[in-house]
Amino acid sequence: MEKATFAAGCFWGVEAAYRQLEGVTSTRVGYTAGSLEDPTYKDVCSDTTGHAEAVEVEFDPSVVSYEDLLEVFWSNHDPTTVNRQGPDVGSQYRSGIFFHTSEQEAAARASLAAADASGRFRGPIVTEITPASQFWEAEEYHQQYLEKRGLATCRI
């Protein structure tokens, strides 16, 4: 199994999209790339901790490739908006790929370049690509939030 970590706005919909993929064995939502140890949702929503709402995906690379996960990432948010997704505004809603290996970094950079050159998006992509750092699991009520409410239908 391998891990991948993505930030694409509010983590609820992003998690639901990944959970639909064959080969994804588990997901958890949480906070990464910030300065505060063990932040809470309230802390992160203050937009003062530097954390991004993110999804950590555990996957079987013999069933689903990292490149497939990247395609889901690009398909489920607007990577051209700085610190915003839809009505959600703040650095916690930024677009980010947090790589765990040098192979993931190379794939993420190639995928971003291809997506940017494709003309698929209206503006330049602002997605950050940085090493994965400490991932703090969000409170239980955020885990599989949309599934618990019967709303887990996302684009794939």
Dihedral Cα 118, 17, 141, 37, nearest 10 deg: -40
Q: Are 137 and 28 in contact (CB under 8 A)?
A: yes
List 4, 7, 8, 10, catalytic entry: 10
Distance of CA 102 to the CA centre of its chain: 18
Whether 10 is catalytic? yes
For residues 99 and 107, give the distance between their C-alpha atoms in angstroms, rounded to a whole number. 9
Catalytic sites, residue numbers? 10
